[in-house]
């Protein structure tokens, strides 16, 4: 049996590849556990600053493995569905989408922070066609990120739309040509690497958690998260680099 999720270090970037092309990268329990481990790896290693999630074989993910569902197997770990829906990495994640990102595949994108998608990629929530609801975060994350009625149309019709449709409504950050999503996502990640990694992680975490805060709560709750960046070695390095008129050498701590 091939490894369900592959990880590859490219400098400070961790490329995470869903590796079940024979099943259109659908998730069973073993796949969720492998993704959970990939998230743990990204969180644990100081010299990994950003993750890029993609799929093998020209597609992102067709969602849940319905054969596994039929045998009452749930693709859920302590991090939630697919090993990351509830608690993805605390570091920025970029989804690199080719082919289909549907059902749990779209919910996987919604668990990431940025999305790069091939022009001909198709995305949607087809769960209603199987008389189930999209309980991997799609039904509450999607209407927070695109207009209510557009999210409702996608959820209630179960239809698929191409990447440019989602870019029009602000869900997809960048459009790539066919076969170039991963390359462009890595390029996007490299653009972010000029910034302090502890500040990237803190900024991502505050935005991620802010959906659960009132404005009044946010002032106090952001403070301990931001402090990780303010107190980091990287902040002192950033100030030194500015004074010395050179590029900072980030350590991720």
Report the alpha-carbon angle 188-140-53, nearest 5. 30
Can you count the helices (H) and strands (E) in the chain? 10, 11
The whole-angstrom separation of Cα 91 and Cα 113 is: 9
Spatial contact of 48 and 9, defined as CB atoms under 8 Å apart: yes
Name the active-site residue from 3, 8, 98, 107. Answer: 107
Active site residue 177: no
Name the active-site residue from 3, 45, 73, 127. Answer: 127
Active site residue 107: yes
Angle in degrees, 0-180, between the axes of helices 148-157 and 138-145, rounded to the nearest 10:
150
Where in the chain does DSSP place strands (E)? 5-10, 13-18, 50-55, 76-77, 80-81, 93-97, 100-102, 114-118, 122-124, 160-162, 174-176
Q: Which positions ≥6 away from 230 have C-beta within 8 Å?
A: none
Active-site positions?
Answer: 107, 127
């Amino acid at each position: 049996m091939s490894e369900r999720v592959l990880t590859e270090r490219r400098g400070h970037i961790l490329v995470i590849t869903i590796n079940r092309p024979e099943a259109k990268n659908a998730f069973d329990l073993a796949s969720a556990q492998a993704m959970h481990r990939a998230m743990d790896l990204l969180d644990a290693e100081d010299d990994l600053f950003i993750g890029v999630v993609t799929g093998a074989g020209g597609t992102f993910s067709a969602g849940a493995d319905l054969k596994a569902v039929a045998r009452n197997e749930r693709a859920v770990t302590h991090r939630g569905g697919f090993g990351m829906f509830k608690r993805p990495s605390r570091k920025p994640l970029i989804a690199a989408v080719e082919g289909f990102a549907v059902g749990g595949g779209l919910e996987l994108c919604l668990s990431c922070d940025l999305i790069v998608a091939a022009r001909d990629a198709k995305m949607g929530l087809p769960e209603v066609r199987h008389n189930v609801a999209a309980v991997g975060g799609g039904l509450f994350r999607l209407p927070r990120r695109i207009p209510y009625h557009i999210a409702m149309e996608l959820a209630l019709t179960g239809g698929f739309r191409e990447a440019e449709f989602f870019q029009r409504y602000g869900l997809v950050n960048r459009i790539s040509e066919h076969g170039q999503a991963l390359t462009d996502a890595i390029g996007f990640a490299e653009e972010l690497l000029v910034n302090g990694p502890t500040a990237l992680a803190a900024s991502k975490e505050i935005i991620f958690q802010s959906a659960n805060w009132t404005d009044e709560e946010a002032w106090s709750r952001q403070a301990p998260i931001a402090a990780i960046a303010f107190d980091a070695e990287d902040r002192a390095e950033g100030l030194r680099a500015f004074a010395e008129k050179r590029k900072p050498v980030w350590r991720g701590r």
